[in-house]
């Protein structure tokens, strides 16, 4: 399934240089991910019922071309990776202007957390199937816990 969402640029989305602020990129990507989840049957109501919430480990954004006030932007979301139990997930977003130029790309790694125990939690099988219908990004892979630590060296007291 290909999933995209279109946005108009608002004055509040701009920074002091009068182009799209980095926080707006993150907001557009987050909104696109949540719109996909909602359309896939994973509304906030459903997640509350299950006691689950998504957490972000990191977002890396690569900027290629400015997005200006008169532009509109279309944001795509693809699945770059997921663990067998659905606990860990990685999405890729591309942001395109109205001419179809790829202006930015972002990688986001996250997991599901049990909101009662505050521990990472697998995703129920029926919800896992819904995420897996998303288009797969180039380099798609099954994620392991080790994949969530590949970009950072942690102090000994944080290793578990």
**pLDDT tens digit string along 90-111?**
999 999 999 999 999 999 999 9
Contacts of 67 (CB under 8 A, 6+ apart): 9, 19, 20, 73, 95, 97, 103, 104
Q: Which residue has the tokens 């130029």?
A: 101
The whole-number average pLDDT for the span 49-61 is: 95
Give me the percent of the chain exceeding a pLDDT of 90: 87
**Integer angstrom CA distances of residue 31 from 8, 16, 40, 60, 72:** 13, 23, 14, 16, 15
The whole-number average pLDDT for the span 127-134 is: 94
Instruction: Provide the residue ranges of all domains of the chain, joining segments of one domain with +.
Output: 3-143
Nearest CA to 121 among 111, 109, 130, 131?
111
**pLDDT-based confidence at residue 41 (cuts at 50, 70, 90):** confident
Nearest CA to 68 among 39, 103, 36?
103
Q: What CATH number should be reported for the domain whose range is 3-143?
A: 3.10.129.10
Given this model, what pLDDT does residue 110 score? 96
Taking residue 152's Cβ as centre, other Cβ atoms within 10 Å add up to: 9
Do residues 97 and 65 touch, judged by C-beta distance below 8 A? Answer: yes
Nearest CA to 41 among 115, 127, 102?
127
68-97 per-position pLDDT tens digit: 999 999 999 999 999 999 999 999 999 999
């Amino acid at each position: 399934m290909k999933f995209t969402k279109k946005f108009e640029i608002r004055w509040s989305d701009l920074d002091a240089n009068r182009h799209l602020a980095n926080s707006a990129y993150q907001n557009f990507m987050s909104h696109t991910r949540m719109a996909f989840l909602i359309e896939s049957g994973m509304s906030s109501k459903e997640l509350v019922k299950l006691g689950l919430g998504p957490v972000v480990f990191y977002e890396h954004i690569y900027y290629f071309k400015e997005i200006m006030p008169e532009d509109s932007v279309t944001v795509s979301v693809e699945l770059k990776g997921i663990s067998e139990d659905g606990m860990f997930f990685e999405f890729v977003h591309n942001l395109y202007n109205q001419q179809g130029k790829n202006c930015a790309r972002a990688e986001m790694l996250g997991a599901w957390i049990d909101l009662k125990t505050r521990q990472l939690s697998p995703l129920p099988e029926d919800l896992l199937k819904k995420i897996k219908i998303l288009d797969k990004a180039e380099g798609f892979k099954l994620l392991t816990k080790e994949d969530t630590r590949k970009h950072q060296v942690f102090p000994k007291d944080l290793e578990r």
